[in-house]
Amino acid sequence: MNERLYKTQAVVLRRFDFGEAGKQLVVYTPGLGKLSIIAQGVKRATSKLAGHLEPLSLSYIVAARGRNLDTVTQADTVEAFANARTDPHRVFYALLVAELLDKLTLDQEENRALWDLLVSTLRRIDTEDDPWTPATYFQVRLLVLSGYKPQLDECVECGGKLDPSAVFYSPRVGGTLCPGCRMADVQSFGVSANAVKLLRLAVAPAYGPYSRVRVGSPLRAEVEGILRASLGNITDREVGSAALLDIMKRAPAQRSQS
Ligand SMILES: [Zn+2]
């Protein structure tokens, strides 16, 4: 193979127009992390690449290194995740997964565990009855694998034991606080013992125990609120992204429509 060429699996996180008939793609890969890459001519009907570089699908690509951006020369769909991309109840969650991964990662930082999480999450959103479960598990694991593991076993500030009837969550420190320590943390808010239990399950690398819990609407809303606050706090600080919060705020409206 030509030295300038390399091959990799890739999930297209998002894409936008590039030049007259091309697209710039932001993809996530197992060995190269997140990459921006050009696909020339994909908007033409004759393009061999078109149809193999759809957002949220897993493709096998060959790319040529460029001075600035690399260019896709071949693409083949490996898994299309058709339900996740077309079912209105699922596509919101699949897009949320792609956008959060994009916001919390830097270019060209390999994270094989994050790659595995991305692909297994898209597969679960595509096939499982309830896409909420894999989508929320993804968000907790994304925090863990990005170095922001939620601390839920004691008070993060004083190390004190938690009384399940009076637990608070602080997005600032990314974990639980006791009633005494929460006084100094204006962002913190009260959380139920069940929400803390559910998040503890999602922190673990095994999906099974988390996925088997039946979660009712009030607890769903509470867990979503905790995740939104945590992820929003990180992206505000690290990336300054107001767009992310907008995406996450759309969640409840989307759910009530479906
Ligand atoms: Zn404390």
Say which residues have a Cβ less than 8 Å from residue 24's Cβ, sequence separation at least 6: 15, 16, 17, 18, 36, 37, 38, 39, 69
Ligand 1 mean position to 148 CA, how many Å? 19
Under the banding of pLDDT at 50, 70 and 90, the label for residue 237 is low
Mean pLDDT along residues 178-193? 96
Ligand 1 mean position to 215 CA, how many Å? 28
Ligand 1 mean position to 159 CA, how many Å? 6
Going from the C-alpha of 9 to that of each of 27, 58, 77, the distances in angstroms are 9, 7, 9
Ligand 1 mean position to 162 CA, how many Å? 8
Mean pLDDT of the chain: 91
The correct CATH number of 5-79 out of 1.10.10.10, 2.40.50.140, 2.60.40.420, 2.60.40.1930 is 2.40.50.140
Ligand 1 mean position to 156 CA, how many Å? 7
pLDDT tens, position by position, 37-49: 999 999 998 899 9
| β-bridge mates for residue 167, sequence order | 191
Cα Rg of the chain (Å, integer): 20
Ligand 1 mean position to 172 CA, how many Å? 14
Domain boundaries, given as residue ranges, for the chain: 5-79, 87-257
For residue 79, which phi and psi values (nearest 5 degrees)?
Answer: -135, 125
Ligand 1 mean position to 181 CA, how many Å? 4
Q: Is the pLDDT of residue 105 over 70?
A: yes
Tokens of 246: 């907008």
Ligand 1 mean position to 165 CA, how many Å? 14
CA gap 107, 88 in Å, rounded: 30
pLDDT of residue 244: 53
pLDDT tens, position by position, 86-99: 999 899 999 999 99
Ligand 1 mean position to 138 CA, how many Å? 28
**Residues less than 5 Å from ion ligand 1, measured at CB:** 155, 157-158, 160, 178, 181
Q: Is the pLDDT of residue 239 over 70?
A: no
Ligand 1 mean position to 179 CA, how many Å? 7
Under the banding of pLDDT at 50, 70 and 90, the label for residue 127 is very high
Ligand 1 mean position to 182 CA, how many Å? 7
Ligand 1 mean position to 167 CA, how many Å? 10
Superfamily for 87-257? Recombination protein O, C-terminal domain (1.20.1440.120)
Q: Taking a C-beta distance cutoff of 8 angstroms, is the pair 177, 156 a contact?
A: yes
Ligand 1 mean position to 176 CA, how many Å? 9
Q: Is the pLDDT of residue 172 over 70?
A: yes
pLDDT of residue 253: 43
Ligand 1 mean position to 184 CA, how many Å? 10
